[in-house]
């Protein structure tokens, strides 16, 4: 039978601890060459939407799998993509234009031995958790051992998940948050203070968020860098999730931050090259950071970076650019969801034969 799950059921079984553990396991498989990941593909229709000027239809897909998970994951999204402005700042935006003002994204898991689909679920909850899980993995190897102060950029759904996941790894003495919308960031700070049972303070400026922090995490929909790299001090850890593609050259960290980084780790150099990412590929082309000195997260996990073995000195500036999504992330988290959902009797079972055929494709 093929298990059909909804977002509420995915959220019920997928914890930060499980997400981080599953992510680290599959990235070790990726480094060892037993897992495989196909680079993300995004296609935009050239014509603007008739009903939403400035927005375009986008179809995105990514795939990956491994023997350890036992699955091959296909993640697909059908989007109305564009941008808007908040307090004069350009932001990436996806419109909920499906029936009922909703979004459309699916994860399909295939059994790698039986070749058949064994689970279908929405991608929404898993999407934000897989990003936070990989960000947490980067922080595990690159952040100071006991960071005291977290400066967070963003007050949306990604920022909320990041602060929750990172607080599972580190006992921050102080958490500061900044986003352009004052009312939104203050409300976010109040809500996260209650959720974490720890004070989260809304700051008045990007500079106040960076200065005094030893851990800076950007988790925004920003189009342009959210702080000035000149504010970064020795010993800081800086992380970003602002991935770009050929049509939307968005980024969260500037050239100065990259230039000053003693260690610069990214998620995927291949995707950065294909998308000509401004904070990876273009930074290398412009001489900000040598291409060969930029390494990927899976190399770091298995020590294949050579002389770069994560943070080795307290005064190092370390940067992790979580620049893209990956199919292996959905395989890791999806397989964990499937196992726990079956153990708890969640979801609805569909006859697998509905998805099979007698003809050779």
- Give residue-wise pLDDT tens across range 79-127: 998 877 777 777 778 899 999 999 999 999 999 999 999 999 999 999 9
For helices 157-169 and 16-32, angle between their N-to-C axes, nearest 10 degrees: 80
- Based on the fold, state whether residues 209 and 292 are members of the same structural domain: yes
Q: Indicate if 115 and 205 belong to the same structural domain.
A: no
**222 in the same domain as 150:** yes
Per residue in 155-164, pLDDT (tens digit) is 998 999 999 9
**Quick one: 147 and 210 in the same domain?**
yes
The reported pTM is: 0.90
The larger pLDDT score, comparing residue 305 to residue 255, is at 255
Average pLDDT, stretch 140-166?
94
Residue 211 reports pLDDT greater than 70: yes
Cα 60 to Cα 2, 79, 104, 215, 327: the distances in Å are: 24, 8, 11, 32, 11
DSSP letter (8 states) at residue 78: E
CATH number at residue 333: 3.30.1780.10
In a domain, 201, yes or no: yes
Phi, psi of 91 (to 5 degrees): -135, 145
Same domain, 216 and 117: no
Q: Structural domain tally of the chain?
A: 2
- Domain assignment of residue 302, given as a range: 128-321
Per the domain annotation, does 193 fall within a domain? yes
Is 10 inside a domain boundary? yes
Considering the domain architecture, whether residues 298 and 180 belong to the same structural domain is answered as: yes
- Give the bridge partners for 294, in sequence order: 264
- 338 lies in the same domain as 263: no
- pLDDT tens for residues 231-275? 999 999 999 997 776 667 789 999 999 999 999 999 999 888 888
Residue 202 lies in a domain: yes
345 & 305 share domain: no
Contact 29, 44 (CB under 8 A): no
Please check whether residues 312 and 330 belong to one and the same domain. no
Q: Is the pLDDT of residue 6 over 80?
A: yes
The conformational region for residue 100 under phi > 0 = left, psi -120 to 50 = alpha, else beta, is: left
333 in the same domain as 313:
no
Q: What is the CATH number of the domain that holds 176?
A: 3.40.50.720
Residue 361 lies in a domain: no
Look at residue 360 and tell me if it is in a domain.
Answer: no
100 found inside a domain: yes
Asked whether residue 294 is domain-assigned, the answer is: yes
Note whether 51 and 83 are same-domain residues. Answer: yes
Mean pLDDT estimate for the chain: 92
pLDDT at 47: 85
Same structural domain, 208 and 117: no
Nearest to 159 by CA among 90, 242, 47: 242
Q: Which residue has the higher pLDDT, 87 or 144?
A: 144
3-state helix, strand, coil in the chain (%, to 5): 35, 25, 40
């Amino acid at each position: 039978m093929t298990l059909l799950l909804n977002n509420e059921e995915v959220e019920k079984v997928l914890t930060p601890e499980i997400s981080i553990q599953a992510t680290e396991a599959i990235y070790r498989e990726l480094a060892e060459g037993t897992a495989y990941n196909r680079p993300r593909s995004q296609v935009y229709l050239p014509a603007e939407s008739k009903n939403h000027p400035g927005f375009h239809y986008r179809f995105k897909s990514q795939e990956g799998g491994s023997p350890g998970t036992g699955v091959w994951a296909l993640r697909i999204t059908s989007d109305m993509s564009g941008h808007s402005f908040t307090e004069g700042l350009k932001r990436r935006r996806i419109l909920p234009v499906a029936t009922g003002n909703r979004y459309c994204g699916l994860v399909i898991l295939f059994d790698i031995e039986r070749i058949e689909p064994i689970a279908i679920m929405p991608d929404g909850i898993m999407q934000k958790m897989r990003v936070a899980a990989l960000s947490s993995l980067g922080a595990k190897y690159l952040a100071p051992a006991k960071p005291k102060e977290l400066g967070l950029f963003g007050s949306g759904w990604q920022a909320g998940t990041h602060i929750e996941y990172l607080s599972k790894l580190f006992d921050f003495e102080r958490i500061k948050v900044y986003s352009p919308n004052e009312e939104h960031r203050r409300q976010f700070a109040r809500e996260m203070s209650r959720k974490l049972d720890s004070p989260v303070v809304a700051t008045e400026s990007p500079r106040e968020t960076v200065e005094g922090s030893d851990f800076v995490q950007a988790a925004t929909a920003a189009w342009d860098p959210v702080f000035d790299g000149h504010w970064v001090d020795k010993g800081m850890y800086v992380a970003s999730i602002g991935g770009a593609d050929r049509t939307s050259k968005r980024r969260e960290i500037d050239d100065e931050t990259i230039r000053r980084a003693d260690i610069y780790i990214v998620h995927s150099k291949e995707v950065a090259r294909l998308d000509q990412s401004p904070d990876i590929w273009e930074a290398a082309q412009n001489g900000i950071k040598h291409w060969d000195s930029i390494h990927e997260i899976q190399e770091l996990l298995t020590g294949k970076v050579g002389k770069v073995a994560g943070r080795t000195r307290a005064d190092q500036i370390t940067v992790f650019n979580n620049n893209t999504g990956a199919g292996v992330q959905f395989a890791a988290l999806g397989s964990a969801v499937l196992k726990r959902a079956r153990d708890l009797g969640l979801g609805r079972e569909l006859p697998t034969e509905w998805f099979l055929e007698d003809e050779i494709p």
